[in-house]
Amino acid sequence: MAREAYPSVHGAPEAAPIDFERLVRDESTSIIVCCGSGGVGKTTIAAALGVRAAEAGRKVVVLTIDPARRLAQSLGLSELDNTPRPVVGIDTSSGGSLDAMMLDMKRTFDEVVLNHSTPEKAEQILANPFYQALSSSFAGTQEYMAMEKLSQLSEEAAENGRWDLIVVDTPPSRSALDFLDAPKRLGSFLDGRFIRLLMAPAKAGGRAYLKVLSGGITMATSVMTRLLGGQMLQDVQTFVAALDTMFGGFRQRAEKTYALLGDRRTAFLVVAAPERDALREASYFVQRLDQEQMPLAGVIVNRVQRLAAASLTSARADAAAEVLGEEGVDGTGSQTAALTEGLLRVHADLAQTAERHHAHVHRFVAGHPGIPVTEVPAAAQDIHDLEGLREIGAALSSAG
């Protein structure tokens, strides 16, 4: 991995870009994880990398989380059956293929239960209202289930060779910690500590368990209300008793997934927007990945404003527009001058955004020497079809 920062012609720090062609083509990369805060383009980048890799000859599966509707449609993700389906319209002439799927959190949790217990026990658990609430609203469930799915896909890939690259999108976590902590959290949750907490007040017969529940589980109010009937205690007990036998399996699995994330064959990409808050979160993410010794390939700054006339600064465009505007007031200006003034003002606005983006990226790069950074230009429109994804893929590969 190119990690050397080198000075640019202006003497300012400049990051080496991420070597995407290598990342995507190199057989020794088998998992790419796109992470970052919500709305920065994780799903888009994951899908774009999937298309790029597949058309370069890799056998790829992309796991997406809540893709925008139109993008989901063009990836053929209208069927919500929690398994990968081939994407239509991929150029397979290099021998590659692309499958895509959308994570169904609840169904993934159900699969875990089914795989780790007898059919009777599983039925008991799945029917339990407490489980039903837990599987759809335990804080971190989505994060954990994304990782669980990754683990399943990875096992399937190893078994039948259907895929040699898994690209994973991650949930729009409020906190970066949620995502990284998910396997560990579920590990310790299933460790029995949480379960003991649940059981203790039940034994005492008090109402204390309500406090434990509200502290430990983020639950929709309506679900809470529905569950607070007399049925509650029994549900919890049944659930815990049934789950008890599955602890070993669950925990081991969470640990295995964590190890998979830290493997050399995995590459993490932190996606960010060229704004202060998003880059601050990216910093935090980079730090956390480092702490956990997760393999970071680099940071993608997505939707960076680019200009057609890059040498015309916002200040100069504004000044020129000013001059033309004054001529207009004098009555000496023409229609062309008015039009030019308008265009200059538009340019000045865009240039200001571009300058701001550049300043933020610059500061980020200076603060993270040695971390590869790749910028992706903002497209004029949302990315909602294969063509758009190909353009993003090309931008990633040509950046630098």
Q: Does 394 bind ligand ADP (CB under 6 A)?
A: no
Query: Smallest distance, Å, CB 298 to ligand ADP?
Result: 16
Nearest to 355 by CA among 300, 316, 303, 306: 306
Residue nearest to Mg ion (CB): 43
- Contact criterion met (CB below 8 Å) for 255 and 183: yes
Considering CB distances under 5 to 8 angstroms, the limit depending on partner class, which of ligand ADP, Mg ion, none binds residue 41? ligand ADP
Of 29 and 43, CB closest to Mg ion: 43
Q: Does 44 bind Mg ion (CB under 5 A)?
A: no
Q: Does 37 bind Mg ion (CB under 5 A)?
A: no
Site for ligand ADP in 300-319 (CB under 6 A): 302-303
Of 40 and 61, CB closest to ligand ADP: 40
Of 110 and 281, CB closest to ligand ADP: 281
Q: Does 257 bind Mg ion (CB under 5 A)?
A: no
| Three-state SS annotation for the chain | CCCCCEECCCCCEECCCCCHHHHHHCCCCCEEEEECCCCCCHHHHHHHHHHHHHHCCCEEEEEECCCCHHHHHHCCCCCCCCCCEECCCCCCCCCCEEEEEECCHHHHHHHHHHHCCCHHHHHHHHHCHHHHHHHHHCCCHHHHHHHHHHHHHHHHHHHHCCCCEEEEECCCCCCHHHHHHHHHHHHHHCCCHHHHHHHHHHHHCCCHHHHHHHHHCCCCHHHHHHHCCCHHHHHHHHHHHHHHCCHHHHHHHHHHHHHHHHCCCEEEEEEECCCHHHHHHHHHHHHHHHHCCCCEEEEEEEEECCCCCCCCCHHHHHHHHHHHHHHHHHCCCCHHHHHHHHHHHHHHHHHHHHHHHHHHHHHHHHHCCCCCEEEEECCCCCCCCHHHHHHHHHHHHHCC
Which of residues 24, 31, 41, 219 is near ligand ADP by CB under 6 A?
41
Q: Does 43 bind ligand ADP (CB under 6 A)?
A: yes
Of 43 and 302, CB closest to Mg ion: 43
Q: Does 43 bind Mg ion (CB under 5 A)?
A: yes
Listed ranges 106-114, 174-182, 333-341, 379-387: which one lies at the site for ligand ADP (CB under 6 A): 379-387
Q: Does 376 bind ligand ADP (CB under 6 A)?
A: yes
How far apart (Å, rounded) are the C-alpha atoms in residues 181 and 121? 28
Listed ranges 19-27, 83-91, 260-268, 371-379: which one lies at the site for ligand ADP (CB under 6 A): 371-379
- Annotate each residue in 324-363 with x if it binds ligand ADP (CB under 6 A) or - if it does not, as one string: ----------------------------------------
- Annotate each residue in 165-194 with x if it binds ligand ADP (CB under 6 A) or - if it does not, as one string: -------x----------------------
Of 53 and 304, CB closest to ligand ADP: 304
Of 103 and 133, CB closest to Mg ion: 103
Cα dihedral 270→100→182→20 (10° resolution): -20
Listed ranges 49-57, 80-88, 206-214, 372-380: which one lies at the site for ligand ADP (CB under 6 A): 372-380
Query: Smallest distance, Å, CB 191 to ligand ADP?
Result: 32
Q: Does 286 bind ligand ADP (CB under 6 A)?
A: no
Q: Does 44 bind ligand ADP (CB under 6 A)?
A: yes
Site of interaction with ligand ADP (CB under 6 A): 38-44, 68, 172, 302-303, 376, 378-379, 382-383, 392
